[in-house]
Amino acid sequence: MSKTIILALLATYMISITLAASNSPTCSSHLAFAKAKNVLTNVLQSDSKGKSKNEALQKQFQNAKPANRTAADLGVCSQYANQNSCCDKNMVKLIDTAALLKVKPILQSKSAFQKLVSVYVTQVTKNCSNTVLPSTPLTFDAIFANTTLKVLQANKTAQATCRINFAKAISSFTRGALCSICAGVEKINDYFNAQGQLKVSQSSVNTFLQSTDQAISCTASFFTPSNIELIVKELNAAYIKNNDKCGANVLDNIKTIFANPKISNDDGKGGKVCKGTTIFGDNSACENILQGDASLEKKLRLLRAEEEEINRLLQASSDAVIDPNGVSVYTTSNSDNQIDETGNGIAPNFDQISTNNSIMIGFTALSISLFALLF
């Protein structure tokens, strides 16, 4: 190659970089990206492959040239089709997978229903003498897996469905929030109000409210005194000999402990804990509702600091407003079919997400050209 050609190539490359940089608005200053990128990063932190794909794709996003994308390109984020989006199909796959991964730790933490069985073990061990108990000490795992306990198993299966539906609602909501980074650069300022709050559609917020409300009240229905009685009486009959009277004490104590399990969507101030308008901020008070009161297993009063922490979480602030031209923040996906009760079935495949190293290729070409010029 002659030096003239190399120089011409070099000039073209520099001009295209400059043009991309001076074209406003840019992907690097995308308002939704600025707000959502930490959500994406936090969720993917736990997965080493997810973490590195995230780092590469976030860089790529910021350096991208907005392009008019089709619905097929944007997959689960297709509501932003035909806009000048900074997303490509790999970023959308990352978003889809991150929304799924978000609920894994939530499902892996102990549910209030699991706590009920743990508390049973504690109470029986405390309140019944060894002579009326099985020779091998009672364990949570043995009881939870005992298929001859019909009430326990029927309730366990039924509450698992509520828990899965709840996780699907959280995942869909997270996906909807993350998709906002795919909004076209020419549209993005219309999607935020002057206070920097995302404008969201009434119908998507309603879907989130309905799904979470339903799952929460469904879960709470297992902790009514009469239902606790059904479960505990079956356990007593299975594990306490001769109908010993300690069984009645155990039942009373468990009813007291679960008198207010705090599986409720009521924030105590006339609002909902799962509001549907905390999009980018801390939503953990909502996400952890099905675990019930943190003190259930401890049976101790919470420390003052813990209570304050919980109150702080309950006051999670809204960062969105309902607007007729708002975006949908509830995006379902087939990926969520992986959601199971324990979260153990969630095993995202990050290999199908490729990162673009075109920027690297650009720099390599530039360096080679410089070398050719110099020598």
Contact set with ligand NAG (CB under 6 A): 60, 63-64, 68, 82-84, 126-127, 142-143, 146, 148-149, 151, 154-155, 158, 221-222, 227, 230, 238, 249, 252-253, 356, 358
Minimum CB distance to ligand NAG, residue 44 (Å)? 20
Say which DSSP state 265 is in: S
- Closest separation between CB of residue 93 and ligand NAG, Å? 14
Pairing type for strands 320-322 and 198-200 reads parallel
* Nearest to ligand NAG of 51, 89 (CB atom): 89
Cα(235)–Cα(149) distance, integer angstroms: 7
Query: What span, in angstroms and rounded, lies between the C-alpha atoms of 304 and 182?
Result: 43
Judged by beta carbon, residue 238 or residue 313, the one nearer ligand NAG is 238
- Closer residue to ligand NAG, CB minimum distance, 145 or 373: 145
Nearer Cβ to ligand NAG (86/286): 86
Alpha-carbon distance values, 113 to 158, 276, 332 (Å): 11, 25, 26
Name the minimum Å distance from CB 68 to ligand NAG: 4
C-beta of 237 vs 303, nearer to ligand NAG? 237
In angstroms, the CA 196 to CA 32 distance is: 10
Provide the minimum distance between the beta carbon of 153 and ligand NAG in the complex, in angstroms, as a whole number.
9
Q: Which helix (H) or strand (E) holds 320?
A: strand 320-322
Nearest residue to 212 via CA among 124, 133, 276, 138? 276
Kindly tell me which of 155 and 172 has the beta carbon lying closer to ligand NAG: 155
Cα–Cα distance, 244 to 252 (Å, whole number): 14
Using CA atoms, how far residue 150 sits from 8, 139, 185, 294, 340, in Å, is: 79, 18, 57, 28, 21
344, 110 in Cβ contact below 8 A? no
The strand pairing partners of 68, in sequence order, are: 84
Q: Taking the complex as a whole, how short is the minimal distance between the CB of residue 180 and ligand NAG, in angstroms?
A: 17
User: Least CB distance from residue 41 to ligand NAG, whole Å?
Assistant: 19
